[in-house]
């Protein structure tokens, strides 16, 4: 499934910005004007119908906001985007001529809803962005894309907005779980992946860091929420910044290249990569030797009727290796992940010997 050649999604370092929710005509026109003046923004976003986790919170201005979006586009020339979750939303958005629609995280989680949206979109050539589901389930994310494709919607992109986790211990509202998004990127390589630092962070402080991380991971673009008076926003106020700050953030991102023309750089890279290849070979030869020793221990345990798992001994290994690894500058978390993988394999080998 290819995106259209003339698709907005093909723009390098695509920048989508705008308020979480369209709250008033003035708010939207002011935001759009400031973003358009910068020349750095490709698409104006604003939620018209808001999917709220709890009732009794602002649920969007509704249909009237479609007129404000169209007026903002007429005023600034910026294409406009909004979220759709039902047949009625899609019909109204298409009738208004909205350029881009996105499927929100809560909707992607529900196959009945993604099917309904896909069917309502059939026959249109609107651009569709699919946010990751709230759970780290790549199958649901891919399923939504496939439903769209089956309804003939080909101009599709992905938005990574982080995942809802119970008691997340870090400072994110929706921890990014980069490895999940990167796997999705690998499994749907033809689709542009856009990062939404606003919903990942849920605050203003970490936006820049997350946005730069996405650029470093070769994402295609960014979606940033902004509001002329962020503290007064009716939804997601903690994570919104002013349009001027959004432009500054977008301009500060360093977009890196996947390749280079510099011969000198290519040569240096080649040498360093040769070292990596040699070291990988040595690391795995050593791990194989270690497994052979573990098997020998397994044979000794079998003959002498000893248990495979001797937790006191394993504790000693973990403590000694973690201490030595720290002296080489390796973190406790990294060392523990590697040791765990080695331990599981050793136990499996000894298990086989016992049987
Ligand atoms: C939004 O983009 O404002 C939104 C509701 O996002 P999400 O679906 O990622 O929660
Ligand atoms: Mn929001």
Nearest to 209 by CA among 164, 176, 182, 180: 176
Distance CA 296, CA 290 (A): 10
Please provide residue 159's backbone torsions phi and psi, each rounded to the nearest 5 degrees. -125, 125
Please report, for the chain, the start and end positions of each structural domain, with discontinuous segments joined by +: 8-252, 263-354
Neighbours of 290 (CB within 10 A): 13
CA of 73 to the centre of ligand 1 (A): 21
Q: Does 1 score more than 50 pLDDT?
A: no
Question: Which residues surround ligand 1 with Cβ inside 6 Å?
Answer: 20, 47, 51, 104-106, 131, 161, 199
HSE-up of residue 96 (Cα within 13 Å, Cβ side): 29
Q: pLDDT at position 6, please?
A: 81
- Res 229 pLDDT > 70: yes
pLDDT in tens, 128-186: 999 999 999 999 999 999 999 999 999 999 999 999 988 766 689 999 999 999 999 99
Angle at 32 between CA 160 and CA 63, to 5 degrees: 80
Nearest CA to 233 out of 15, 37, 18 is that of: 18
CA distance 31 to 62: 18
Per-residue model confidence as pLDDT tens digits over 257-305: 889 999 999 999 999 999 999 999 999 999 999 999 999 999 999 999 9
Of 20, 49, 52, 131, the one to substitute when testing ligand 1's pocket (max ligand atoms within 8 A of C-beta) is 131
Candidate from 105, 130, 226 with most ligand 1 atoms within 8 A of CB, to mutate: 105
What is the CATH class of 263-354?
mainly alpha
| pLDDT of residue 311 exceeding 90 | no
Identify any residues that bridge with 224 across adjacent strands, giving them in sequence order.
17
CATH number of 8-252: 3.20.20.70
CA–CA gap between residue 27 and residue 244 (Å, rounded) = 14
Query: Mean pLDDT over all residues of the chain?
Result: 95
């Amino acid at each position: 499934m290819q995106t259209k050649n003339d698709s907005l999604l093909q723009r390098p370092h695509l920048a989508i910005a705008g308020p979480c929710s369209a709250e008033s005509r003035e708010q939207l026109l002011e935001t759009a004007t400031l973003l358009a003046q910068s020349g750095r923004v490709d698409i104006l976003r604003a939620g018209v119908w808001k999917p709220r986790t709890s009732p009794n919170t602002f649920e969007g201005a509704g249909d009237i906001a479609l007129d404000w979006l169209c007026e903002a586009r007429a005023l600034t020339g910026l294409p406009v985007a909004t979220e759709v979750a039902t047949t009625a939303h899609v019909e109204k958005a298409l009738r208004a001529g909205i350029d881009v629609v996105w499927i929100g995280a809560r909707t992607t989680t529900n196959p009945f809803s993604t099917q309904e949206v896909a069917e309502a979109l059939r026959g249109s050539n609107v651009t569709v962005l699919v946010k990751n589901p709230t759970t780290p389930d790549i199958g649901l994310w891919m399923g939504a894309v496939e439903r769209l494709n089956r309804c003939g919607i080909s101009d599709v992109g992905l938005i990574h907005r982080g995942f809802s986790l119970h008691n997340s211990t870090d400072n994110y509202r929706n921890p990014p779980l980069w490895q999940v998004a990167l796997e999705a990127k690998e499994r749907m390589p033809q689709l542009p992946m856009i990062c939404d630092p606003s919903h990942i962070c849920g605050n203003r402080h970490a936006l820049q860091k997350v946005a730069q991380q996405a650029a470093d991971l070769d994402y295609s673009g960014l979606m940033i929420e902004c509001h002329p008076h962020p503290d007064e926003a009716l939804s997601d106020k903690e994570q919104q910044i002013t349009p001027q700050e959004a432009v500054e953030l977008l301009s500060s991102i360093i977009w890196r290249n996947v390749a280079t023309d510099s011969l000198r750089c290519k040569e240096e890279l080649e040498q360093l990569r040769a070292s990596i290849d040699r070291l990988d070979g040595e690391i795995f030869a050593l791990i194989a030797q270690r497994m052979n020793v573990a098997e020998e221990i397994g044979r000794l345990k079998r003959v002498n009727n000893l248990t495979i798992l001797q937790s006191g001994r394993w504790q000693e290994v973990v403590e000694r290796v973690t201490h030595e690894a720290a002296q080489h500058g390796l973190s406790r978390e990294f060392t523990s992940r590697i040791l765990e993988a080695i331990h599981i394999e050793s136990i499996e080998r000894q298990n086989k010997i016992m049987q």
